[in-house]
Amino acid sequence: MVDFGLIVVGTTFGFKSTHTEIGRKAIMARLFFTAFFILCFIGTGQLSAQVAQDKIDKISAALPAKAPATPQKARKVLLFSKTNGFRHGSIPVGVKSLTMLGEKTGAYTAIHSEDESMFEPAKLKEFDLVIMVNTTGEIFKPKKLPSDPAAKQEALKREARLKNSLVEFVKSGKGIAGTHSATDTYKNWKDYNDMMGGAFDGHPWHMDVPVRILGGDHPLTKVFGGKGFTIKDEIYQFRQNTAVPAERRMLLSLESSWDGLKKGKRKDGFYPISWISKYGDGRTFYCSLGHRDEIYWNEMVLEHYLAGIQYALGDLEADATPIAVQR
């Protein structure tokens, strides 16, 4: 596939074998990166092919006309959806929706992949933001570690390198965002939990739930007009020592007066849905909505996603200071 891509690109640009050695090196470097992005788009196309046209039409009709902020520069976003645990059926729709969201509004260009090598430092630096689209498990490892001790050690060394690459990427001033099961990913890796903000600890609710707006004048919740709403989705609760209001700016939560909260097990009785925070010089955004396909063509949710993505990219100014939350 790579050789074919290089031949196609080379033919398209009309390169000839008479170039000098320096010219050939420059051309090969350009072809490498072009082929790299072609292969990424091929991967996106394969996943998008799983999305029925009627769903694409629903996404298209729900997309906002413009972004809340003008990008400071052309933005490149990595949509990563590898799963080493449960795999959500909504992943293809989520990837398609988030790709179309960037295209329609001009806020960013999305590249999709499930290849963890995208987190090698040289590749990752090409992006401004990583969005974990319903990832699960320890995604920088093979699903099954090799039985050979040397190969196993090499796989673990590679995992450690990719982990460090992501941490340094965000700390340096870039961003990370997550939808739904992004918090069911690396639940025992503290750096990741600190970046994403929560660690999944069950989903007692898959029904119509009342959602509370925490700070209606915030740029990321402006779309809701200060009014709570009801939505049907699989709603997460988070491990006791994560998703703590004192550590990040909470944006949405389950309504505190709802009788259904009795199904939850958090000692603080607080069940957040969406938040932002700072991490080093970078920014983070998470929203647990995204189990069901229709979430990705919900107009208000898409505007909330877009505002969160633009915050994480650094294009939308928003206060990430934690606020007191009334229980």
Predicted confidence (pLDDT) at residue 1 exceeds the cutoff of 60 = no
Question: Cβ distance 87 to 136 under 8 Å?
Answer: yes
pLDDT score for 127: 98
pLDDT tens, residue by residue, 185-225 = 999 999 999 999 999 999 999 999 999 999 778 999 999 99
Residues sharing a CB contact under 8 Å with residue 269, sequence separation 6 or more, in sequence order: 256, 261, 327
pLDDT at 297 over 50: yes
Residues 94/134, Cβ–Cβ less than 8 Å: yes
Q: Going by C-beta distance under 8 Å and a sequence separation of 6 or more, which residues neighbour residue 202?
A: 236, 237, 265
What is the rounded distance in angstroms from the CA atom of residue 78 to the CA atom of residue 139?
15
- Which pLDDT band holds residue 46 (cuts at 50, 70, 90)? low
Q: Does pLDDT of 63 surpass 70?
A: yes
Whether 88 shows a pLDDT value over 60: the answer reads: yes
d(CA 63, CA 302): 7
pLDDT band at 44 (very low <50, low <70, confident <90, very high): very low
Per-residue confidence band for 48, with pLDDT thresholds at 50, 70 and 90: low
Q: Give me the chain's average pLDDT, please.
A: 88
Provide the pLDDT for residue 193: 97
Residue with tokens 């939308």: 316
- Res 41 pLDDT > 60: no
Q: How is residue 161 annotated by DSSP?
A: H
In tens, the pLDDT along 240-278 reads: 999 999 999 999 999 999 999 999 999 999 999 999 999
Q: What is the pLDDT of residue 133?
A: 98
Separation between Cα atoms, residue 284 and residue 191, nearest integer Å: 13
Asked whether residue 38 carries a pLDDT value surpassing 50, the answer given is no
Query: Residue 111 has what pLDDT?
Result: 98
What are residue 314's phi and psi, to 5 degrees? 95, 10
Contacts of 300-304 with CB under 8 Å at 24 or more apart are 300/223, 300/224, 300/229, 301/231, 302/62, 302/63, 302/64, 302/97, 302/101, 303/64, 303/68, 303/223, 304/220, 304/221, 304/223, 304/224, 304/251, 304/252, 304/274
Q: Could you tell me the pLDDT band of residue 39, with boundaries at 50, 70 and 90? A: very low
Task: Decide if pLDDT at 12 tops 60.
Answer: no
The residue with greater pLDDT, 118 or 36, is 118
User: Confidence class of residue 67 from pLDDT cuts 50, 70 and 90?
Assistant: very high
Q: How far apart are the first and last CA of the chain?
A: 55
Q: Answer yes or no: is pLDDT of 89 > 80.
A: yes
The C-alpha R_g of the chain, in whole angstroms, comes to 21
pLDDT band (50, 70, 90) for residue 45:
low
Residue 71 has pLDDT above 50, yes or no: yes
Q: State the Cα–Cα distance between residues 27 and 73, nearest whole angstrom.
A: 26
pLDDT in tens, 104-161: 999 999 999 999 999 999 999 999 999 999 999 999 999 999 999 999 999 999 999 9
Q: Global pTM?
A: 0.86
Residue 216 pLDDT: 75
| Residue-level pLDDT at 49 | 73
Q: Is the pLDDT assigned to residue 295 strictly greater than 90?
A: yes
Q: Is the pLDDT of residue 90 over 50?
A: yes
Task: Report residue 274 as tokens.
Answer: 């969406």
In the chain, what's the furthest Cα-to-Cα distance? 76
